[in-house]
Structure 1
Amino acid sequence: MKKRKIFSSVGLVTAAALTLVACGKSSNNSNEGAKSASKFPIETPVKEVKQGGTLKIAEETDTPFTGIFNEELQMSQPDADVASPGSEALFDTDDHYKINDKGPATMKLDRKAKTITMTVKKGVKWSDGHQVNAKDIEFAYEIIANKATKSQRYSSQFNLIKGMKEYHEGKAKTISGIEMPDGENGRVAVFHCTELKPGMYNSGNGYFWEYAAPYHYLKDIPFAKLEASDQVRKKPLYFGPYKVDHIVRGQSVTWVPNKYYWRGKPKLDKIIYQVVNPNSATQAIKSHKFDVARVVNAQWKQVKGTKGVNFIAKIPLAYRYLAFKVGKWDNKQSKNVMNPNAKMGNKSLRQAMAYAMNTDAVYKHYTDGLSFQIPTLIPEQFGDYFDKGNKGYTHNIKKANEILDKAGYKKEGKWRSQPNGKPLTINLLAKSNTSIDGPIVQNYIQQWNKIGLNVKLVGNRLTEFNSFYDKVQHDDPKVDMFLGGWSLSSEPSQQQMYSEGTMSNYSRFVTPENTKLIEEMDSQKAFDHKYRVEKFHEWQKYMNDEAYVVPTYNEYEIDAVNNKVTGYSRKPSEGNKLFYQIGFAK
């Protein structure tokens, strides 16, 4: 998946469970789950595939999916998941996410001319039979950049395409830097840029978009009405292997083969994505209700002996985090603006809260080691970009107290006050999803209470997914900090998540040093790999010190797959053609 951004899961259980975790003395603190998962394959055994059959896939969420079937407007993982049988990116990649020529389109970079040329292959057609063309590529940029769509995908990264900024600001009716040499109905789009970037050879770099939008199908809908339109919500078009047959709003999507699919005929008669509550996932797996279902890590022990399934495992390009709100998104200026008087603006307060968290112990307790603490905002899968010498924040209540004392957060009775003497109450936004989310969040609150910080849940409870998402994106003033998560792009550039000009910088922090480091890691000098690695290491050190966003954990993703299914793979090189090749064995 490219450029998916998500929020993590964060539901109520008993106080009895809490004390165990807070003490960290449970006999449950093992890594047996992780030891098992590390040995699981990344794909199902290869077998001869038969034609036909219905594949049932569980979409595990405790809330209905929003049902936005358009990549340019879509922001939640459940929407991306249920759209995946039809949604196909323009480019295939190898297992290191390097773009190759095997996908629906090819890409060529010309550093001297500062151009990107995308060519759609002949025969790549929308599910209504229309050839995907240059205008479809260009139109996707219009959807992202036109303020009327309210797309969350726009980022200042796109401004290196000439004319993109002017179009976004409403000063131009077209994007001047996107040329269609063979006309709108041709298959070639040439992007004229101010410069090319080192990450552009890889998928997920954030400087260009990797999807197309059906212009002929959507052109008559005003941009302001696009997200709510039937063409996006009920009858979307895709050029992937399957097309939408039926949608039960927020609950299920049924897919049937796209007879125009460019790679050939897909194997299945039907794919059904069905919402199931994560708390019911174990029963669904044990009763073989679905052919593919994600294991909830806290429930691993209950499902590990299930017969008739292959367990497929991967540590995804993702992480969960704690973020502190220190500003707002300014829509007029299209940038994040910090509030110099933000409650969470004091670095000492943020650092102390990070040291107080017992992330490693709490997740080992609940998930048998399948979820594990990570030290920095660059995951280990990014190879030498990951700074393995950076240890991050480990549980240290004594150090947390010392930091707060030194910074002037005086204790008056049970709670500390602000350095200016005013009372301090910190409002935490956390999302409900699985049964362990409640006790884990309550555990963190207990840890913060131990250092004299009065932390309360927004609304005194965990927040439903869509409401959580809305509050974070729109900078709800009642939120001081939140527990979120990213599903990451496959190119490690940090522009699209933490720069001044991206809406996705939900903490809203902007500092000259952060801007400088992010620009340096994507600069012309960064075509030198050693230089780029240095800048990534500097950025990780800086971000950990500032603690605007504190990484918490990543986890194994284990899928229980019917052992009659073949062609299921989590390899990056297989991702774009997964639904074309998946089927039942003969």
Structure 2
Amino acid sequence: MTKLKTIGSVGIVSMAALTLVACGKSNQSNSNDAKTASKFPSSMPKKAAKQGGTVKVALETDTPFTGIFSDQLATTSFDAQIASPGAESLFDTDDYHKINDKGPATIKINQKNKTITITLKKGVKWSDGKQVTAKDLEYPYEILGNKKTKAQRYSTKLEVLKGLKEYHEGKAKTISGIELPDGDNGLRMILHFSSLKPGMSFSGNDYYVESAAPYHYLKDVPFNKLESSDKIRKKPLYFGPYKLAKLVRGQSVTWIPNKFYWRGKPKLAKIVYQVVSPNSASQAIKSHKFDIVQVVNSQWKEVKNTEKVKFIAQIPLYYSYLGFKVGKWDAKKGKNVMNPNSKMNNRSLRQAIGYAMNIAAVNKRYTNGLSFQIPTLIPKQFGDFYDPNVKGFTYNLNKANELLDKAGYKKKGKWRVQPNGKPLKINLLAMSGAATQEPIVQNYIQQWHKIGLNVGLLNGRLTEINSFYDKVQNDDQSVDMFMAAWGLSNEPSPNGLYSEGGPANYTRFVTAENNKLIDEIDSEKAFNHKYRVQKFHEWQEYMFKDAYVIPMYNAYKIYAVNDCLTGYSLKPSESNNDHPLWYQVGYVK
């Protein structure tokens, strides 16, 4: 599924203490710029590992995590992080995200028949000892497709699977495009599609599910109670290397080995995730309270010389963005509906807001250059799908004022009014986070004030993450624009995030041109790589021009890792949806 890793920062300070045994000093560079981060490795050195030991991981957030232990129902990055020791994907990939046959299941694509066969390996078992079956492969589609679950991860992109739309709309009790040739307890599932898509060989393509759900365990829970049930919130089943042993709701999670794990006994005795405030991240690194801590980039200077840790880094498939609310989600119709009379439904207004943002200067001042402005919604990591000719919204107050003047946003005293003469007050929703979050957001508000736009924080303050996404997802009418972020799928199609039928299209913009371009990007014609590249470039140019979403920045993701650990990696072939393959992680002998 699209990685709805809704990115935020959160936290309660952890009081956990950990004494580290010396295994050699780190010899990290003292430089504090992006060049330093670019030279960091993406994995810990490979060494022989011993059995046992506890790894403590800092979960950096300023509010309690939600704790939805379901691949189909969870939507935040924090829930994905804390579930990662158990939540193994069905598929392993190479470093280019192409699915291989090394994981719990394999796929076989038949272009002629427009089918994909997924075959489980014998011995892949849930943590209660039950074999994962074909019915467990089918059940995620029922969870996602049944409207009673209100799954945010459901998208019309999935409706290329035959019968899923009819099931979603309540017109069918089963999904006709799913075939279990060996029955519910078999190991094979055949998916029948109306058409095959160019990204289907790659993880994160959004056209089929890459997880399983334990039908035998969840079948008695009504769909409308699934997300809140104890079987999802307190005692989940996974087939990954670890199983949940202890949960302090919203604060910490403890994992112990799954004795039925199909690859064999994992190395560690325990993995503990503990909430810590982003403002305390640097202290957590320097005091060695945790074995794994993500560096808050604004705190890099404070931690760069820390001993007994190694820094590993990557540029993730991620971007932050400013989105404009121009409509709402229609649950009955299962699609986004744009409001042509929305306050923010004026291209010149949106463009002006983009040109007034001094993003590059903010990154330099607050993140030691470890964050950097991006011009488009397709990151450079996607190779030639990225369009280098889209320049993005560089800081230009003159251009911003000119756009507003021409569009009829005249000044009446200090503030501009709408073209119809009515007052213009713009409410910005921004989430709380590290100590730098408030001054960064206030900086942008001051920039918008300079061009005469009366922008203010909703309710006069930053909003904690759970409330933030409640307002964004449910189209709170008081929100005019919002700052959020995406962790992206490994397959670059924008369908899941910006389509008419995608609940994750939080701006709710819908246009004929956007629909056309997304359809072309994912068409059978797009098996021709040159054609698909062309359509990706056209889509980026279109999104820049209409500016319903303004890309802001990406950033180096740096981790401080106890240098006694091995097997911790950020490489696609050695990670699981951007999380480590925990069965490989252990302490050096």
Q: CA–CA distance in 1 between the matches of 2:489 and 2:8?
A: 16
Q: CA deviation at 1:243?
A: 0.3
Indicate the SS of the match to 1:542. helix
Asked whether the 8 Å contact 1:409–1:416 carries over to 2, the reply is yes
Specify the alignment match of 1:304 in structure 2. 304
Asked whether the 8 Å contact 1:43–1:568 carries over to 2, the reply is yes
Q: CA–CA distance in 1 between the matches of 2:9 and 2:401?
A: 29
Change beyond 3 A, Cα 1:212–1:191: same
Specify the alignment match of 2:583 in structure 1. 580
Report Cα offsets for 1:497-556 as digits up to 9, x if no partner. 000000000000000000000000111110000100000000000000000000000000
The one-letter amino acid paired with 1:316 is P
Asked whether the 8 Å contact 2:10–2:62 carries over to 1, the reply is no
User: What does residue range 497-576 of structure 1 map to in structure 2 within 5 Å?
Assistant: 497-576=497-576
Q: CA–CA distance in 1 between the matches of 2:349 and 2:445?
A: 15
User: What does residue range 34-433 of structure 1 map to in structure 2 within 5 Å?
Assistant: 34-433=34-433
Report Cα offsets for 1:107-149 as digits up to 9, x if no partner. 0111110101000100000000010011001001100010111
Q: CA–CA distance in 2 between the matches of 1:244 and 1:285?
A: 25
Indicate the SS of the match to 1:503. coil
Indicate the SS of the match to 1:438. helix
Q: CA deviation at 1:363?
A: 1.1
Q: CA–CA distance in 1 between the matches of 2:153 and 2:291?
A: 33
Q: CA–CA distance in 2 between the matches of 1:69 and 1:91?
A: 19
Q: CA deviation at 1:395?
A: 0.1
Asked whether the 8 Å contact 2:181–2:188 carries over to 1, the reply is yes
- Percent of aligned pairs with the same amino acid: 68
- RMSD over aligned Cα atoms: 1.2
Q: CA–CA distance in 2 between the matches of 1:437 and 1:9?
A: 10
Asked whether the 8 Å contact 1:10–1:437 carries over to 2, the reply is no
Q: CA deviation at 1:195?
A: 0.5
Asked whether the 8 Å contact 2:115–2:193 carries over to 1, the reply is yes
Q: CA–CA distance in 2 between the matches of 1:161 and 1:390?
A: 34
Q: CA deviation at 1:81?
A: 0.3
Indicate the SS of the match to 2:575. helix
The one-letter amino acid paired with 1:581 is Q
Q: CA deviation at 1:230?
A: 0.7
The one-letter amino acid paired with 1:288 is H
Indicate the SS of the match to 2:570. coil
Asked whether the 8 Å contact 2:156–2:501 carries over to 1, the reply is yes
The one-letter amino acid paired with 1:558 is I
Q: CA deviation at 1:4?
A: 3.6
Asked whether the 8 Å contact 2:32–2:301 carries over to 1, the reply is no
The one-letter amino acid paired with 1:514 is N
The one-letter amino acid paired with 2:106 is T
Report Cα offsets for 1:533-580 as digits up to 9, x if no partner. 000000000000000000000000000000000001000001137100
The one-letter amino acid paired with 2:149 is T
Specify the alignment match of 1:15 in structure 2. none
Q: CA deviation at 1:176?
A: 1.1
Matched positions, count: 567
Q: CA–CA distance in 2 between the matches of 1:115 and 1:108?
A: 8
The one-letter amino acid paired with 1:583 is G
Q: CA–CA distance in 1 between the matches of 2:395 and 2:101?
A: 47
Structure 2 residue ranges without an equivalent (≥5): 12-30
Indicate the SS of the match to 1:69. coil
Q: CA–CA distance in 2 between the matches of 1:489 and 1:332?
A: 27
Deviation beyond 4 Å, 4+ runs, structure 1:
8-11
Report Cα offsets for 1:258-292 as digits up to 9, x if no partner. 01101111000111011101001111000000000
Asked whether the 8 Å contact 1:2–1:203 carries over to 2, the reply is no
The one-letter amino acid paired with 1:45 is P
Q: CA–CA distance in 1 between the matches of 2:200 and 2:322?
A: 29
Q: CA deviation at 1:3?
A: 2.3
Q: CA deviation at 1:331?
A: 0.3
Specify the alignment match of 2:19 in structure 1. none
Q: CA–CA distance in 1 between the matches of 2:389 and 2:272?
A: 45
Indicate the SS of the match to 1:79. helix
User: What does residue range 445-456 of structure 1 map to in structure 2 within 5 Å?
Assistant: 445-456=445-456
Q: CA deviation at 1:2?
A: 6.5
Indicate the SS of the match to 1:198. coil
Q: CA deviation at 1:9?
A: 5.1
Q: CA–CA distance in 2 between the matches of 1:303 and 1:352?
A: 38
Specify the alignment match of 1:479 in structure 2. 479
The one-letter amino acid paired with 2:77 is Q
Q: CA–CA distance in 2 between the matches of 1:195 and 1:96?
A: 24
Report Cα offsets for 1:304-328 as digits up to 9, x if no partner. 0000000000010000000000000
Asked whether the 8 Å contact 1:52–1:269 carries over to 2, the reply is yes
Asked whether the 8 Å contact 2:10–2:63 carries over to 1, the reply is no
Asked whether the 8 Å contact 1:158–1:208 carries over to 2, the reply is yes
Q: CA deviation at 1:8?
A: 4.2
Q: CA deviation at 1:36?
A: 1.1
Specify the alignment match of 2:16 in structure 1. none
Change beyond 3 A, Cα 1:75–1:544: same
The one-letter amino acid paired with 1:536 is F
Asked whether the 8 Å contact 2:257–2:270 carries over to 1, the reply is yes
What's the TM-score, normalizing by structure 2?
0.95
The one-letter amino acid paired with 2:62 is D
Structure 1 residue ranges without an equivalent (≥5): 12-30
Indicate the SS of the match to 1:336. strand
Report Cα offsets for 1:169-203 as digits up to 9, x if no partner. 01111111100000000000001110100000100
The one-letter amino acid paired with 2:382 is F
Q: CA deviation at 1:158?
A: 1.1
What's the TM-score, normalizing by structure 1?
0.96
Indicate the SS of the match to 1:201. coil
